[in-house]
Amino acid sequence: MRYIGKKLITMLVTVLIVTLLVFFAFRVIPGDPAVNMLGIKATPEKVERLREQMGLNRPLIIRYLEWLKDFFFGDMGKSYSYGSSVSDMLKSKIPITVALTLISFLFVIAIAIPLGIHTAKHEDKWYSKVLDVLNQIMMSVPPFFIGMLLTYLFGIILRWFTPGGYVSYRDSFAGFISYLILPSLAIAIPKAAMTNKLLKSSLLKESRLDYVRTAYSRGNSTSEVLYKHVLKNAMIPVITFLGMTLADIVAGSLIVEQVFSIPGIGRLLITSISNRDYPVVQAIITIIACIVILNNFIVDVLYKMIDPRISR
Amino acid sequence: MRKRLVSILTVLLTLTIALSGCAGRKAGDSSKIVVGIPQDLEDSLDPHKAVAAGTREVLFNVFEGLLKPDENGELIPAVAESYTASEDGLVYTFKLRDGVKFHNGNRVTAEDVKYSIEKSAGMTGEESLIAAFSNIKEVNITDKDTVEIVLNERDVDFPAYIASVGAAVIPADNANPDTMPVGTGPYKYVSRSPQENIIMTRFDDYWGEPAHIANVEFRIEANNDAMILALKGGTIDMCARISASQTSQLSNTFTVYEGSMNLVQALYLNHNVAPFDDIRVRQALCYAADKQEIIDIAFDGKGSPLGSSMFPAFGKYFMPELTDTYTPDLSKARELLKEAGYPDGFDMTITVPSNYQPHVDTAQVLVEQFKRIGVNATIQQVEWNTWLSDVYANRQYESTVIGVDASQLTANAMLGRFYSKAEDNFTNYSNPEYDKLFEEAQVTIDDDKRTELYKKMETLLAEDAANVYIQDMAEFVPLAGKLDGYVFYPLYVQDIAKLYFKEQ
């Protein structure tokens, strides 16, 4: 319990630091939301008046504290460029990115775990060597590039899907999920390759330990030893890695959304940054930071459940 | 074990293929079209606050002012049935059309019109974006369907401002114009999703000729290339402003309309920065820049070369003869540079917004052309927001390639910015003679005399080599084969109401 309490405090501090960094980062990069809103109608006088109206002329620290207070009470403010409330905008975007992340994560698990076990079991077969090389290649290709290859292959040559033909989940859920499959694969492939490699080496390392020999000597079959004893121990590093991977997938999905024209959080974030739409950027980054931090927390707890020695 | 693995993988793969197959849109949906737009309307949907041209061209379908422009650039009555101007030009009286309804079903009243004009003019405390509206003294309701607008000073261009989206008539009792726009146009707003789409549906109680197509979705694409992909894939039916090379990627199932962008693309020079304060240097650059070569190299030969700050769609103001004020002549250019004291040329920076590929391409050709006279130009690509604040608002730049368009069809919209005291004079151009002509034009009522003055101003800009004028860029509008009826406007407008499905 003390462990969890301590973790919670660290989490809070981390979120605070993130919000602070985001808030002040915008002071450093050039550009002004008032100028952006006025576009080519911007004249120094108009910009000044609009800045005053938007409250941009007040001291930074006061604006930060106010934002923090509002955010804490669930008010994320109003988008400068869209004029609508940030929480309304995010409500329709978050499910898209969450769906993309979850499908990718499922792909990682569905591909990496069976493959890892299989290759570890048949490590001496000829095709294991081939798979190793392939795996190495897949690990090093970035998701957006895989995304472009998949678009080219399935969209332009085979015409199995329409590039840019995103279907909203409000129109057709099946269409929505099926459009997300290729982008999810693009995100999942490099991560699955890494997980596969890790699982395989972890399994091989475990299987050389003494307790495995004991298990065999008790008359257990290979499968029994593998699934009842070795796998459980070999999964400890893999679970940590999967936890980190989930956070990576969130980041990866932001980029892959651009490649596949998926109107999720990523596209909103990138346009909002170039528009200097502070309220939107702050809300999105804070939410992503919370997701990542929460995710790490869950991994820690899970980790502890599998291996009780860790809390000490 | 191996068997099971193989079967899992097979199932996954089949699922991927099967589900991907059904992601396409239902073909033959004849009640809806999808229009691709290359950027989101990162803007308020309140017509009085919308600034971006991209927003205004979409909102044109939702909103109308008392007057509105037609495809020839003429002003036609919209919410108003007719109007008269008083003898001294200070009072405009608009008679409202009978039975014009808002999208919420209410009738347009004189109170709504008064509210809209006052809101748009910034008289209700909000920032006014139409500079000319600061000239409004008062708005009076004379009877239940007549509104009179009183000006402080005479302004012949006033009706043109009344016809812009920025002066749209909206209900006085609307709660939230930012997110729930209500207008009187042929289409009514349904919903929007940032970075995804804007959906509209036909307004059946429209006072004029109703739209042909019932539902319209403006779909936001990441960029022009994504838009071409979407056109090819059939997820969008039309889009505007693609380049000549992009049209060549499309199959002949599309009808491609060719028009012009109605803007003045030029290398705009900051006259406050040496050596661009020297007319000889500016002229040298004009002689070195080969417009036709730029159009041939970067625009597949499509585009109309220009010689001053006016484009052909303006008709009576446009002077085609100015295009040849400076024909490419390298020896003259070198001569002029020598006279100006730069026999070996000089270094300069061209700032270009990186999101406008055509301007970046143009700058690249210019760099090569200027090399021929020893001028060493480097391109600095900046983000659009940085361009707006550094180049446009703060005028901290040497030169920039950009296209300047007209928000109203008035000569002032193009020529007003070169008045030395103009707020939007981002080139810092200053010429007492020009200022005198401009001031005179503002108070001249006779149309012929006014046109004459504007022509003199254009000529002055050309002779002064105020900027290195290049072209009015060509634009291409591909339309899916089943559609017809696209019309170009001399303004930044997409009129969806005129589109219709061909008889099969």
> CB-based contacts of B200: which residues, under 8 Å, 6+ apart?
B61, B62, B187, B188, B189, B190, B215, B216, B217, B218, B496
What number of other Cβ atoms are within 10 A of residue B331's Cβ?
9
Residue B423: its chain A contacts at CB < 8 A?
43-46
- pLDDT tens, residue by residue, A214-272: 888 888 887 788 887 888 888 888 888 888 888 889 888 888 988 888 888 888 898 88
Structure-token match 């915008």, residue found: A26
Distance from CA of B22 to the nearest CA of A (A): 7
- Please indicate if any CB of chain B lies within 8 Å of the CB of A217: no
What number of other Cβ atoms are within 10 A of residue B90's Cβ?
17
Alpha helices in B81-140 (DSSP H): 110-120
With 0.90 as the threshold, say if the pTM is over it: no
Three-state secondary structure call for residue B65: coil
- Please indicate if any CB of chain A lies within 8 Å of the CB of B175: no
> CB-based contacts of B409: which residues, under 8 Å, 6+ apart?
B69, B73, B160, B314, B490, B491
Indicate whether B410 belongs to any domain. Answer: yes
User: Tell me, what's the pLDDT at B11?
Assistant: 52
CA distance B339 to B343: 8
Element (H, E) at B85: strand B80-85
Indicate whether B130 belongs to any domain. Answer: yes
CA distance B163 to B122: 17
On whether both B255 and B185 belong to a single domain, the answer is yes
When comparing pLDDT for B126 and A73, which is higher? A73
CA distance B502 to B89: 47
On whether both B208 and B347 belong to a single domain, the answer is no
- CA–CA distances in Å: residue A129 to residues A113, B2, B5, B6, B172: 18, 17, 18, 18, 74
Reported as half-sphere exposure (CB side, CA atoms, 13 A), residue B333 has a value of 23
On whether both B438 and B488 belong to a single domain, the answer is no
CB contact under 8 A, B179 and A83: yes
Distance from CA of B84 to the nearest CA of A (A): 30
On whether both B140 and B212 belong to a single domain, the answer is no
- CA–CA distances in Å: residue A297 to residues A97, A106, A236, B45: 21, 20, 15, 42
Reported as half-sphere exposure (CB side, CA atoms, 13 A), residue A295 has a value of 21
Residue B43: its chain A contacts at CB < 8 A?
37, 81-83
One-letter amino acid of B197? N
CA distance B480 to B236: 8
- Please indicate if any CB of chain B lies within 8 Å of the CB of A89: yes
On whether both B186 and B198 belong to a single domain, the answer is yes
Burial status of residue B157 (CB atoms within 10 A of its CB: 0-12, 13-18, 19 or more): middle
Residues in A 29-88 with any Cβ partner in B closer than 8 A: 30-32, 35-47, 49-50, 53, 79, 81-84
Indicate whether B12 belongs to any domain. Answer: no
Indicate whether B207 belongs to any domain. Answer: yes
On whether both B326 and B249 belong to a single domain, the answer is no
- CA–CA distances in Å: residue B221 to residues A261, B61, B240, B361, B407: 7, 20, 12, 22, 24
Nearest to B119 by CA among B187, B191, B44, B55: B44
User: Tell me, what's the pLDDT at A250?
Assistant: 87
On whether both B429 and B328 belong to a single domain, the answer is yes
User: Tell me, what's the pLDDT at A80?
Assistant: 83
Of A162, A274, A276, the CB nearest to B235: A162
Could you say which DSSP state residue B211 is in? P
Among chain B residues, the shortest Cα distance to A122 is held by B2
On whether both B306 and B426 belong to a single domain, the answer is yes
One-letter amino acid of A63? R
Three-state secondary structure call for residue B5: helix
What's the CATH code of the domain at B81?
3.90.76.10
CA distance B175 to B182: 10
> CB-based contacts of B136: which residues, under 8 Å, 6+ apart?
B117, B121, B123, B149, B150, B151, B152
First-last CA distance in chain B: 57
User: Tell me, what's the pLDDT at B491?
Assistant: 82
Average pLDDT over residues A144-169: 83
Average pLDDT, chain B: 87
- Asked whether B48 and B178 are in contact (CB, 8 A), the reply is no
> CB-based contacts of A144: which residues, under 8 Å, 6+ apart?
A186, A255, A256, A258, A259
What's the CATH code of the domain at B43?
3.40.190.10
Count CB pairs under 8 A between chains A and B.
Answer: 164
Selected for mutation to probe chain B from A94, A178, A262 (highest B CB count within 10 Å) is: A178
Indicate whether B172 belongs to any domain. Answer: no
> Positive or negative CA dihedral for B154, B156, B162, B165?
negative
Strands B347-353 and B399-405: parallel
User: Digits of tens for pLDDT over chain B (504 positions)?
Assistant: 455 555 555 555 454 444 444 433 444 456 899 999 887 777 788 888 877 778 888 999 999 999 999 888 888 999 999 999 998 889 999 999 998 999 999 999 999 999 999 988 888 766 666 767 888 999 999 998 999 999 998 888 888 889 888 899 999 988 788 888 999 999 999 998 888 889 999 999 999 999 999 999 999 887 778 888 888 888 899 998 888 888 888 888 899 999 888 899 999 999 999 899 999 999 999 999 999 999 999 999 999 999 999 999 888 899 999 999 999 999 999 999 999 999 999 999 999 998 888 999 999 999 999 999 999 999 999 988 788 888 988 899 999 999 998 877 788 889 999 999 888 899 999 999 999 999 999 888 888 999 999 999 999 999 999 999 999 999 899 999 899 999 998 888 889 999 999 876
CB contact under 8 A, A263 and B196: yes
Distance from CA of B71 to the nearest CA of A (A): 24
User: Tell me, what's the pLDDT at A63?
Assistant: 85
First-last CA distance in chain A: 13
CB contact under 8 A, B127 and A53: yes
Of B20, B23, B42, the CB nearest to A81: B42
Write out the residue range of the structural domain in which residue B355 sits: 263-473
CB contact under 8 A, B393 and A168: no
Residues in A 230-269 with any Cβ partner in B closer than 8 A: 258, 261, 263, 267-268
Among chain B residues, the shortest Cα distance to A49 is held by B127
CA distance B320 to B306: 8
Indicate whether B195 belongs to any domain. Answer: yes
Average pLDDT, chain A: 85
User: Tell me, what's the pLDDT at B115?
Assistant: 93
Residue A115: its chain B contacts at CB < 8 A?
5
Distance from CA of B46 to the nearest CA of A (A): 9
pLDDT surpassing 60 at residue A213: yes
Indicate whether B292 belongs to any domain. Answer: yes
The domains found in chain A, sorted by start residue, are 2-91 (no CATH), 94-263 (1.10.3720.10)
Indicate whether B206 belongs to any domain. Answer: yes
One-letter amino acid of B261? M
CA distance B351 to B345: 19
One-letter amino acid of B342? Y
Residue A121: its chain B contacts at CB < 8 A?
1
CA distance A129 to B37: 49
> Encoding tokens for residue B62?
């939702």
User: Tell me, what's the pLDDT at A125?
Assistant: 83
Distance from CA of B236 to the nearest CA of A (A): 9
- Please indicate if any CB of chain A lies within 8 Å of the CB of B315: no
Structure-token match 């056109």, residue found: B231
One-letter amino acid of A136? Q
On whether both B205 and B246 belong to a single domain, the answer is yes
One-letter amino acid of B13? L
pLDDT surpassing 80 at residue A289: yes
HEC profile of B423-477: CCCCCCCCCHHHHHHHHHHHHCCCHHHHHHHHHHHHHHHHHCCCCEEEEEEEEEE
On whether both B431 and B372 belong to a single domain, the answer is yes
- CA–CA distances in Å: residue B292 to residues A160, A260, B302, B400: 43, 38, 9, 19
Of A44, A114, A276, the CB nearest to B393: A44
User: Tell me, what's the pLDDT at B6?
Assistant: 53
- Asked whether B119 and B48 are in contact (CB, 8 A), the reply is yes
Q: What are phi and psi of A39, to 5 degrees?
A: 55, -135
How many domains does the structure of chain B reveal?
3
Answer with the one of B167, B187, B215 that is the final residue of a domain: B167
Answer with the one of B132, B167, B202 that is the final residue of a domain: B167
- Please indicate if any CB of chain B lies within 8 Å of the CB of A154: yes
CA distance A127 to A113: 18
CB contact under 8 A, A83 and B40: no
User: Tell me, what's the pLDDT at A311?
Assistant: 55
- Asked whether B274 and B320 are in contact (CB, 8 A), the reply is no
On whether both B76 and B225 belong to a single domain, the answer is no
When comparing pLDDT for A48 and A163, which is higher? A48
What's the CATH code of the domain at B346?
3.10.105.10
User: Tell me, what's the pLDDT at A42?
Assistant: 67
Of A83, A162, A261, the CB nearest to B23: A162
Q: Provide DSSP, chain A.
A: -HHHHHHHHHHHHHHHHHHHHHHHHHHHS---HHHHHHGGG--HHHHHHHHHHHTTTS-HHHHHHHHHHHHHTT---B-TTT-SBHHHHHHHHHHHHHHHHHHHHHHHHHHHHHHHHHHHHTTTSHHHHHHHHHHHHHHHS-HHHHHHHHIIIIIIIS-SS-TT----TTT-HHHHHHHHHHHHHHHHHHHHHHHHHHHHHHHHHHHTSHHHHHHHHTT--HHHIIIIIIHHHHHHHHHHHHHHHHHHHHHHHHHHHHHTT--SHHHHHHHHHHTT-HHHHHHHHHHHHHHHHHHHHHHHHHHHHH-GGGG-
On whether both B274 and B324 belong to a single domain, the answer is yes
- Please indicate if any CB of chain A lies within 8 Å of the CB of B258: no
CB contact under 8 A, A155 and B233: yes
Burial status of residue A9 (CB atoms within 10 A of its CB: 0-12, 13-18, 19 or more): exposed
- Asked whether B264 and B469 are in contact (CB, 8 A), the reply is yes
Answer with the one of B113, B147, B167 that is the final residue of a domain: B167
Reported as half-sphere exposure (CB side, CA atoms, 13 A), residue B483 has a value of 28
Burial status of residue B348 (CB atoms within 10 A of its CB: 0-12, 13-18, 19 or more): buried
Burial status of residue B44 (CB atoms within 10 A of its CB: 0-12, 13-18, 19 or more): buried
Alpha helices in B71-173 (DSSP H): 110-120, 158-162
pLDDT surpassing 50 at residue A179: yes
CA distance B426 to B496: 34
- CA–CA distances in Å: residue B244 to residues B116, B225, B267, B413, B475: 41, 13, 22, 28, 8
